[in-house]
Amino acid sequence: MATEKERKVSKELRAQARKLGLCDEWYNAWSDDCTYDELISKFITGYDFCLEHDWPEPKFIVKHFPLHVLRANGVYCDDSSARSDIRNAVVMGRSSVELYYSDYTFGDVRVRHSSHVCVRCDALSVVHIHVYDHSSVVVIAEEGAKVTLFVHSDAARVTTKGSVKEVYGEG
């Protein structure tokens, strides 16, 4: 059950998304009674839409979402943190984050805006990293890790150590 604050944020985001062209299917399925966790789940699931519209803005996220809820859901916005084995991580705004992936874990990392991220991948981990905007990423892959780095911006800066497959463009 959503709190009054969560309902207010849900209504505002739903209205913004509609103005940006959110389709009827997603709009009609979006309850105004969403919790923060449910809103973050929508953000991650509908990330292509959010990316296309650069929405919601980092300022909105920082203002309306509790830091501990964002971190618990793998979203880092104007944040500095270090975390391990986050399946879906979104790093945005002006964040500085370290992510660690241990043996036999999978990670899907998206880095936006002016964020700086260091991703360390142990052997046998599988990690996909998408880099956008003016962000910078350092990837350290141990032997046996399967790491693919998708670079979607000419302005992004990437540094790799170890065996990292790099894909430039849409990938």
Evaluate whether residue 170 is within a structural domain.
yes
- CA-to-CA distance for 99 and 122, rounded, in angstroms? 11
Q: Mind listing the pLDDT tens digit for each residue in 55-86?
A: 999 999 999 999 999 999 999 999 999 999 99
Report the domain count for the chain.
2
Mean pLDDT, the chain, whole residue set: 96
Give yes or no: residues 13 and 47 share one domain: yes
Give yes or no: residues 81 and 48 share one domain: no
Evaluate whether residue 68 is within a structural domain.
no
Q: Mind listing the pLDDT tens digit for each residue in 122-135?
A: 999 999 999 999 99
Q: Give 24's pLDDT tier (boundaries 50, 70, 90).
A: very high
- Is residue 45 scored above 70 in pLDDT? yes
Evaluate whether residue 69 is within a structural domain.
no
Look at the pTM and tell me if it is higher than 0.75: yes
Give yes or no: residues 28 and 88 share one domain: no
- CA-to-CA distance for 2 and 8, rounded, in angstroms? 10
Structure confidence at residue 103 (pLDDT): 92
Q: Give 150's pLDDT tier (boundaries 50, 70, 90).
A: very high
- CA-to-CA distance for 144 and 18, rounded, in angstroms? 44
- Is residue 171 scored above 80 in pLDDT? no
Give yes or no: residues 95 and 123 share one domain: yes
Task: Provide the token pair at 142.
Answer: 């141990």
Structure confidence at residue 119 (pLDDT): 98
Share of the chain above pLDDT 90, in %: 97
Structure confidence at residue 169 (pLDDT): 84
What would the mean pLDDT of 152-166 be, rounded to a whole number? Answer: 97
Range of the domain at 45: 1-56
Evaluate whether residue 24 is within a structural domain.
yes
Judge contact between 40 and 65, C-beta under 8 A: yes
Give yes or no: residues 146 and 103 share one domain: yes
Judge contact between 86 and 66, C-beta under 8 A: no
φ/ψ of 54, rounded to 5, equals 45, 55
Amino acid at 66: P
Cα 47 from chain centroid?
Answer: 8
- CA-to-CA distance for 144 and 121, rounded, in angstroms? 9
> Of 129, 132, 115, which is closest to residue 77 (Cα–Cα)?
115
> Of 147, 156, 97, which is closest to residue 122 (Cα–Cα)?
147
Evaluate whether residue 144 is within a structural domain.
yes
Task: Provide the token pair at 135.
Answer: 């962000």
Give yes or no: residues 171 and 129 share one domain: yes
Tell me the Cα Rg of the chain.
16
Structure confidence at residue 52 (pLDDT): 96
Q: Give 170's pLDDT tier (boundaries 50, 70, 90).
A: low
Evaluate whether residue 66 is within a structural domain.
no
Give yes or no: residues 84 and 52 share one domain: no
